[in-house]
Amino acid sequence: MKFHLKNCLLALLVSLCSLFWSVLVFADTDLFMAEGLVKKIDVENRKITIKHGEIKNLEMPGMTMVFRLQESVSLDKLQAGDKVRFHVEKMQGAFVITDLQESP
């Protein structure tokens, strides 16, 4: 009986943790979108050169630089000269674009 109670408490703790985690993830959906101008696209290596404005979530001022593109980000319709809005995350020392949309 004591063992059973321990398992119950553990299960409760796990559920509380996952609940807390999903709240955190949900809060994180309000992602900062940087503005930029596409300079160059390297489809083969999934890299893109963007002249970008301030990236607040990375505390980065405006500059021109190369980003990596996450698998989920499509390159199909993109071309140099396009204005874009995008979200960048720092992953394992690299700047990775996780979301990218053409600016209207």
Distance of CA 90 to the CA centre of its chain: 8
Cβ 60 to Cu ion, closest distance in Å? Answer: 5
Which range binds Cu ion by CB under 5 A, 2-10, 39-47, 58-66, 79-87?
58-66
Cβ 46 to Cu ion, closest distance in Å? Answer: 18
* Residue 63 in the binding site for Cu ion (CB under 5 A): yes
* Residue 60 in the binding site for Cu ion (CB under 5 A): yes
**Whole-angstrom distance, CA of residue 48 vs CA of residue 65:** 8
3-state class of 10 per DSSP? helix
**Whole-angstrom distance, CA of residue 23 vs CA of residue 71:** 25
Selected from 33, 37, 65, 96, the binder of Cu ion by CB under 5 A is: 65
**Whole-angstrom distance, CA of residue 30 vs CA of residue 97:** 15
| Number of amino acids touching Cu ion (CB under 5 A) | 3
**Whole-angstrom distance, CA of residue 101 vs CA of residue 97:** 11
**Whole-angstrom distance, CA of residue 59 vs CA of residue 1:** 54
Which range binds Cu ion by CB under 5 A, 5-13, 21-29, 60-68, 76-84?
60-68
Cβ 13 to Cu ion, closest distance in Å? Answer: 41
Residues that bind Cu ion (CB under 5 A): 60, 63, 65
